[in-house]
C-alpha cells in the first residue's frame, strides 16, 4: 500500500470539495474493495476522504411510494431491512447471495455500485491491462478468460462487473442520486455503468467530484414473482459465473410485464428491453422463456474459456423465469 493522507468528511459539500480539489483523492466507505486494491497497488490514492460519518445512513420512504436507500447503509442492513425484505425481496436475495456476512456488514450501497472488476489481470500489476493502464493491452482476450464477458465486449476489454446487488437494482429500475460540484443529479441505474468501448478505464458515468448519496427504488417491487439465480463455482461465497434477476407481473397465467437482467456476463448489469418485451402478453411457458433466452444471447460472443457462459446463461434465464412464474404455487 502507498502512503496517503486521511481526512474525515463532516458534510457532503465538504466531501465533494475535497474530491474536486485533489484528483488523486478517493472516497472510502466500507473499504472492502478500495483497501484490497490499494494493497495490490492497483489503486494508489494519495488522500482518502472518509465518508462513513456522513448522514447518508438511512432507509426511508419516498414521496412517490418508493424507498430511498442511503449510500452508506451497509449491504447487510439493506438486505435485512423490513421494508426491503417485504417490498423488494429480489434485492434482498441478490445482496445476500454476494460476499460473506462479514463483508456485507462492512460494504455500503454506494461502494457496491463502484466496486471494480475481479479480472485477475486487472489485479496483477505484472500483466498488461487496459483498464488499469490505458493502452497497455488486454491480457484476458487471448489469455485465461473463464470469468469474462460474453456480451457488450470491446477489443480493449472483456471484463465483467462483479456486483449481485446491481443486477437486482437494474431489474427494479433503481435511480442513483449523486451530488457534485455543479449540484445534484440523478442517474438511472441502466445508465450508471458503462460498456468498455475504447475507454475501459472508466467504469461508470459518475463524475470525479461526485458522491453517491442514495439509491431510489420505484414503488414497483415485484414481490410476488421474482427470482435471483446465481450460478457459481461453489455453493456460497463466490462471484457469479452467470446470475439472473427475473421479475414478473402476471395476470393469471399471462405475463403483463417482465424484467430480466443478467450479471457476470458483461461490463454492466445486462438488460435487453426488446427481448424482455417478447414476454408481454404471453403465457408463462418454458417455450416462451426459451425464445427470450435465445434473443438475449443472440449476439453473445465467447473468447474460449468463457464460451460455456452463453449456453449457461440461456439455461439460467429459463430457470429463473420458471422460478419467478411459479412462486405462488410453490408457497
Ligand X SMILES: Cc1cc2nc3c(=O)[nH]c(=O)nc-3n(C[C@H](O)[C@H](O)[C@H](O)COP(=O)(O)OP(=O)(O)OC[C@H]3O[C@@H](n4cnc5c(N)ncnc54)[C@H](O)[C@@H]3O)c2cc1C
211 lies in the binding site for ligand X (CB under 6 A): yes
User: For cell 449456453, what's the residue?
Assistant: 311
Q: Which does 117 bind (CB under 5 to 8 A by kind): ligand X, another protein, ligand SF4, none?
A: ligand SF4
Applying CB under 8 A, which residues contact another protein?
A: 1, 3-6, 28, 31-32, 35-36, 38-39, 48, 50, 52, 76, 80, 99-103, 105-106, 236-237
Shortest approach of ligand X to residue 115 CB, angstroms? 4
- Burial label, 218 (beta-carbon count in 10 A; 0-12, 13-18, 19+): middle
Q: In what order do the strands lie in the sheet with 25-28?
A: 5-8, 47-50, 25-28
Alpha-carbon distance of 266 to 108, in angstroms, equals 22
User: For cell 445512513, what's the residue?
Assistant: 57
Q: Which three cell numbers stand for residue 151?
A: 456480451
Residue closest to ligand X (Cβ)? 111
34 lies in the binding site for ligand X (CB under 6 A): yes
Site for ligand X in 106-165 (CB under 6 A): 106-108, 110-112, 114-115, 162-165
- Burial label, 298 (beta-carbon count in 10 A; 0-12, 13-18, 19+): exposed
Nearer to ligand SF4, 129 or 214 (CB): 129
What letter does residue 205 receive in the DSSP assignment? S
What x/- string results for residues 37 through 66 when contact with ligand X is judged by CB under 6 A?
--------------x---------------
Shortest approach of ligand X to residue 36 CB, angstroms? 6
Q: Which does 131 bind (CB under 5 to 8 A by kind): ligand X, ligand SF4, another protein, none?
A: ligand SF4
Nearer to ligand X, 49 or 140 (CB): 49
> To 10 degrees, the CA torsion angle through 211, 216, 222, 224?
100
Alpha-carbon distance of 134 to 175, in angstroms, equals 30
Q: Which does 68 bind (CB under 5 to 8 A by kind): another protein, ligand SF4, ligand X, none?
A: none
Strand partners, 245: 228, 261
Amino acid at each position: 500500500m502507498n502512503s496517503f493522507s486521511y481526512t474525515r468528511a463532516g458534510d457532503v459539500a465538504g466531501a465533494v470539495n475535497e474530491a474536486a480539489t485533489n484528483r488523486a483523492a478517493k472516497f472510502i466507505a466500507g473499504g472492502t474493495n478500495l483497501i484490497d486494491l490499494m494493497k495490490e497497488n492497483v489503486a494508489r490514492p494519495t488522500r482518502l476522504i472518509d465518508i462513513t460519518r456522513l448522514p447518508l445512513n438511512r432507509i426511508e420512504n419516498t414521496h412517490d411510494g418508493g424507498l430511498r436507500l442511503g449510500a452508506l447503509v451497509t449491504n447487510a442492513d439493506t438486505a435485512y431491512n423490513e421494508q426491503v425484505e417485504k417490498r423488494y425481496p429480489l434485492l434482498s436475495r441478490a445482496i445476500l447471495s454476494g460476499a460473506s456476512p462479514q463483508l456485507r456488514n462492512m460494504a455500503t450501497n454506494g461502494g457496491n455500485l463502484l466496486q471494480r472488476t475481479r479480472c485477475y489481470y486487472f489485479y496483477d500489476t505484472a500483466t498488461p491491462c487496459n483498464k488499469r493502464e490505458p493502452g497497455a493491452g488486454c491480457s484476458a482476450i487471448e489469455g485465461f478468460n473463464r470469468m469474462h464477458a460474453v456480451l457488450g465486449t470491446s477489443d480493449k476489454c472483456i471484463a465483467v462487473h462483479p456486483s449481485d446487488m446491481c443486477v437486482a437494482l437494474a431489474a427494479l429500475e433503481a435511480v442513483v442520486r449523486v451530488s457534485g460540484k455543479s449540484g445534484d443529479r440523478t442517474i438511472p441505474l441502466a445508465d450508471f455503468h458503462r460498456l468498455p468501448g475504447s475507454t475501459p478505464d472508466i467504469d461508470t458515468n459518475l463524475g470525479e467530484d461526485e458522491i453517491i448519496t442514495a439509491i431510489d427504488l420505484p414503488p414497483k417491487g415485484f414481490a410476488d414473482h421474482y427470482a435471483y439465480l446465481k450460478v457459481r463455482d461453489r455453493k456460497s461465497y463466490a462471484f457469479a459465473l452467470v446470475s439472473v434477476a427475473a421479475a414478473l407481473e402476471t395476470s393469471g397465467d399471462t405475463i403483463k410485464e417482465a424484467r430480466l437482467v443478467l450479471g457476470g456476463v458483461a461490463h454492466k448489469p445486462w438488460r435487453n428491453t426488446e427481448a424482455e418485451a417478447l414476454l408481454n402478453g404471453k403465457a408463462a411457458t418454458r417455450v416462451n422463456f426459451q425464445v427470450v433466452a435465445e434473443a438475449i444471447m443472440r449476439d453473445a460472443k465467447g473468447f474460449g474459456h468463457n464460451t460455456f457462459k452463453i449456453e449457461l446463461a440461456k439455461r439460467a434465464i429459463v430457470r429463473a423465469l420458471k422460478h419467478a412464474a411459479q412462486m405462488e404455487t410453490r408457497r
